[in-house]
Structure 1
Amino acid sequence: MTVGAALDLSHHFSVETKSRKASPLKSCIHLFHDPNIIFLGGGLPMSKYFPWDNLNVQSPLPPFKNGIGEVPSGTDKDTCHVQIRRDETTKAGDTIDVPLSRALQYGHSQGQPEFLSFVKEHTELVHKMQYSDWDVLATTGNTGAFESALRIFCDRGDTILAEQYSFSASIYAAEAQGINVFPVPLDDHGLIPERLATILDNWNPEVKKPKLLYTIPTGQNPTGSSLSYERKAEIYRIAQKHDLIILEDEPYYFLQMDEYQEDPSQRKTTTYSSHSEFLQSLAKSFISMDTEGRVIRMDSFSKVLGPGTRLGWIVASKQIVTAFLRLHEMSIQNPSGFSQSIVAGTLNRWGQDGFLDWMVGLRQEYNEKRDVAIDALHKYVPEDSVFHVNPPIAGMFFTISIDSSKHPEFATKYESKPELVEQAIYNKVVESGVLIVPGAWFKVEGETQPPQPAESKKELDPNRIFFRGTYAAVPLDKLQDGIRKVGIALKEEFQL
């Protein structure tokens, strides 16, 4: 199938991006590895002064027959061995490893070729790209990628759109840059396309329209909701109509699960006859629908390998990837060379099939954790007119939604203010020895000047509050005990 090229979206670039020039020093760094050049052009230390001569790491070996949590024995039967040397002669792309002589040197701001080739092949395999001139770029994870995106596209005083409850670090990063974050309501199934359309169709003409829509489509943080294909398709259509760029933040994409079955006898462990069957079971991403280059997908290893790798990648049009590259050349330089060496060395030995085997294993683990959490919630926080639990189908978070107006002292002690009820619940739960996080910590409350129509800021239920918990951080017995304590605290607070 022939696909077209991405649209030119450079009119969305910030003043900073339009002013930025390519670094002339970076333009010649490739000559450092040319044996015919005596390189006197840059402050690159000789690799013999790097104290590390080699790096040895072990991981489980695909297909992970003993489960992804099994500690490898060290034998070739179940252990993947990665040895990375300080070899100065290996050219980029010649092997599956990033030698330390290159990994620990300046250069390759887009990412090491051995890393980029793996994630590019992975992207095509999973998302089946729909335009021709796309590319990938290594990042320090999605938080860093998001902050870079703000600098690339937004000037101080601009507005972006985000889900009404969103990842607090992203909200604060935008606000620190003087960027207004305007909320779009969401429900149990994620961002509501009709509300997005209403906001944009009725945007105050005295205010510059938003350039970006920031969304966490799968296992949304903090609500745990996931967008359906139908909603994504409608959101993409709205983005086309209003010339929006979609920032698709997807650290939880591979933590997709079966729908929750309340009756344990109805539960079945999903198995896949092939990797293609597994891939077909995954939610269709925004980037896989994108024919115009108006989606920037932010992927991360934080939730599937380890947060401390500080390594991820973006997928976008080459024009947009180049804008990221120019910024990174002047800021982060490149993600950690150690991380790129270890991750590339491991994944290139696992192969694409082995990486998918790892994801299938993660899916099974999180499926069980989710079931245990929701079972405990149904046991200790029964569904009624006060409490509502929305079982997630992806990610690592559950939410307990609460009608604060049902509190017996709502109008008296708490002055009919949901936020006061929320704070009282938080205090009580912490006193009981458990931490769950108030939804208010994630609330997007930005407004433009002059303001948008009142209908655009209308909440679905202003008295409803919620708390976010996770089933990822503790063993199953502690998870159940924690939810039991939450249930007791809620019942005591509501005098049930």
Structure 2
Amino acid sequence: MTLPQSLDFSHLYSDETRARKSSPLKSCIHYFQDPKIAFLGGGLPLSKYFPWDSIVADSSLPSLTYGIETDLPNTGAREETCHVRLERNEITKGGDLKDIPLSRALQYGFGMGQPEFLSFVREHTQLVHKVRYSDWDVLATTGNTGSWESTLRIFCNKGDTILAEQYSFSSSIYAAEAQGINVFPVPLDEHGLIPERLEAILDNWNPKTKKPKLLYTVPTGQNPTGSSLSDNRKIEIYRIAQKHDLLILEDEPYYFLQMDHYQREATSRKVTHFKSQSEFLDSLAKSFISLDTDGRVIRMDSFSKVLAPGTRLGWLVASKKILRVYNQLHEMTIQNPSGFSQAIVAGTLNRWGQEGFLDWLLGLRREYSEKRDIAIDGLFKHLPKTPIFRINPPTAGMFFTITIDASAHPDFLTKYSSKPELVELAIYEKTIENGVLVIPGSWFKVSGNTEPPQPSEHKKGSNSNEIFFRGTFAAVDSDTLKNGVQRLGETLKQEFQL
């Protein structure tokens, strides 16, 4: 089957991108690897002056026998441990080995990423998402936060508008606003962004203002709501994006933290044991990149939630046309992600192999499912049994939310002057006083608009007196989690005098 080529979206580039030129110094860096060339053209230090001779990194060795998926602890025995030893040597050609030699990892160059790293994530992407157009590729990044900042610079001018879920990752929203970009909210419910509302907003966009170029979405285990888009909603959203020539920025750090649906009765729960890795892959939600035939989806992947945030390492999946523009920007900003991180992560993953990495992800799925159940069990146990509070058990990610009818607070009309945001603040301060921290939903609210503004009905939600709080079940051990949920329940009982 011959796959189509991606479309050209250069008409959506920012003025900065149109004005940017490729660095001529980067155009000749590949000669540094040519032994026939006496390379006198670049400011590259000689690798013998790097102080590190070798780096050793040991990790678990995930497999169907050992690793996080089973109850067997890592005792340190050699057959259970992945040993990575990175040596300094003068090999500079990329892709010949599973390891990135320190002489190359710590040197300038390879702005797209080191070949040993890229080859692994490229194979992983095709295995998981089966991209449906031919000229796609991957590019190494410093994580999704850095990728987002680059995206804004590449596509947006000051005064442009982008779309995001009505409650969204606050750092991403603040980054856009700091660049003078309007972030317009699209309503969402317990199942994520609502396609019908998205289409209504775009179909009835104020013609006196420029239409949005980008839709920013966290489809799986959404931050902050914990919601996950169904495959059918994604298909509808992609159709709408095609209709309105919109790019979809798919921010997916939680994609592999997908779980079984929560069962209220513990006796009814069954841990899913997949017969094969293929069965596991088939169980995963469709990604936007797997639906994309135009090259209008830019997928941001990250190791922050599945390996470690401190690696500051991730990758973009997009058309080669678009990635070329990212690389031009990175040449003048980050240069490339940390050589230490790329070398250690690539050395580890190339030893694990694709099967080992999937085993690791399967293990994380089980661990997060157990922690999710502990948190939601605790909420149902300790929260008052009343319609005032609503729990939405997540099926992916790291977050749970409690939605609260602020108008039911006994002091709503008097002390808080019928303002739900004052009730929210009071609850937040009370939870800290009682020794537990959850985050107010208002911290994530998207409230931007255009000038002249869009029709007011675009922003209408359901109950204006509803507030919510975001908690995480990922950051603490099980005992602390149980204790924290109990304190949260006791605080809400006190506040609402229940």
Give 1:367's match in structure 2, choosing from 348, 369, 379.
369
Q: How far is 1:382 from its partner?
A: 4.1
State yes or no: 1:11 paired with 2:11: yes
Q: How far is 1:408 from its partner?
A: 1.4
State the match for 1:324 in structure 2: 326
2-structure distance, mates of 1:25, 1:175: 33
1:140–1:311: 8 Å Cα contact kept in structure 2? yes
1:369-408: CA deviation from partner (whole Å, max 9, x where unpaired): 0000000000011453100000000000000100111111
Q: Mean alpha-carbon deviation: is it higher for 468-477 or for 374-383?
A: 374-383
State the match for 2:439 in structure 1: 437
State yes or no: 1:384 paired with 2:386: yes
2:67–2:74: 8 Å Cα contact kept in structure 1? no
State yes or no: 1:418 paired with 2:403: no
Counterpart of 2:180, as a letter, is G
Equivalent runs, 1:319-358 vs 2, <5 Å: 319-358=321-360
State the match for 1:478 in structure 2: 480
1:17–1:152: 8 Å Cα contact kept in structure 2? yes
1:185–1:460: 8 Å Cα contact kept in structure 2? no
1-structure distance, mates of 2:487, 2:481: 10
State yes or no: 1:227 paired with 2:260: no
1:291-344: CA deviation from partner (whole Å, max 9, x where unpaired): 000000000000000000000000001111001000000000000000000000
Counterpart of 2:332, as a letter, is M
State the match for 1:247 in structure 2: 249
Q: How far is 1:455 from its partner?
A: 0.7
State the match for 1:190 in structure 2: 192
**Normalised by the size of structure 1, how large is the TM-score?**
0.99
Q: How far is 1:74 from its partner?
A: 3.5
1-structure distance, mates of 2:64, 2:490: 40
1:60–1:71: 8 Å Cα contact kept in structure 2? no
Relative to structure 1, the CA distance from residue 274 to residue 386 in structure 2 (aligned partners, 3 Å threshold; closer, same or farther) is same
State the match for 1:38 in structure 2: 38
Q: Sequence identity, in percent?
A: 71
1-structure distance, mates of 2:32, 2:496: 69
Q: How far is 1:461 from its partner?
A: 1.7
Q: How far is 1:459 from its partner?
A: 1.6
Partner SS, residue 248 of structure 2? strand
2:61–2:67: 8 Å Cα contact kept in structure 1? no
Partner SS, residue 421 of structure 2? helix
State the match for 2:81 in structure 1: 79
State the match for 1:25 in structure 2: 25
1-structure distance, mates of 2:254, 2:236: 22
Q: How far is 1:65 from its partner?
A: 3.9
1:56–1:82: 8 Å Cα contact kept in structure 2? yes
Counterpart of 2:364, as a letter, is L
State yes or no: 1:403 paired with 2:402: no
1:287–1:297: 8 Å Cα contact kept in structure 2? yes
Partner SS, residue 321 of structure 1? helix
1:98-121: CA deviation from partner (whole Å, max 9, x where unpaired): 111001000001000000000000
**Number of positions where the alignment pairs a residue of Structure 1 with one of Structure 2:** 496
Structure 2 unpaired stretches of 5+: none
2-structure distance, mates of 1:238, 1:384: 39
Partner SS, residue 198 of structure 2? helix
State yes or no: 1:270 paired with 2:266: no
1-structure distance, mates of 2:306, 2:212: 32
Q: How far is 1:75 from its partner?
A: 2.9
Partner SS, residue 292 of structure 1? coil
Structure 1 unpaired stretches of 5+: none
1:59–1:72: 8 Å Cα contact kept in structure 2? no
State the match for 1:102 in structure 2: 104
Q: Mean alpha-carbon deviation: is it higher for 224-233 or for 66-75?
A: 66-75
Partner SS, residue 269 of structure 1? coil
1:86–1:101: 8 Å Cα contact kept in structure 2? yes
State the match for 1:123 in structure 2: 125
Q: How far is 1:72 from its partner?
A: 3.6
Equivalent runs, 1:200-219 vs 2, <5 Å: 200-219=202-221
2-structure distance, mates of 1:422, 1:122: 43
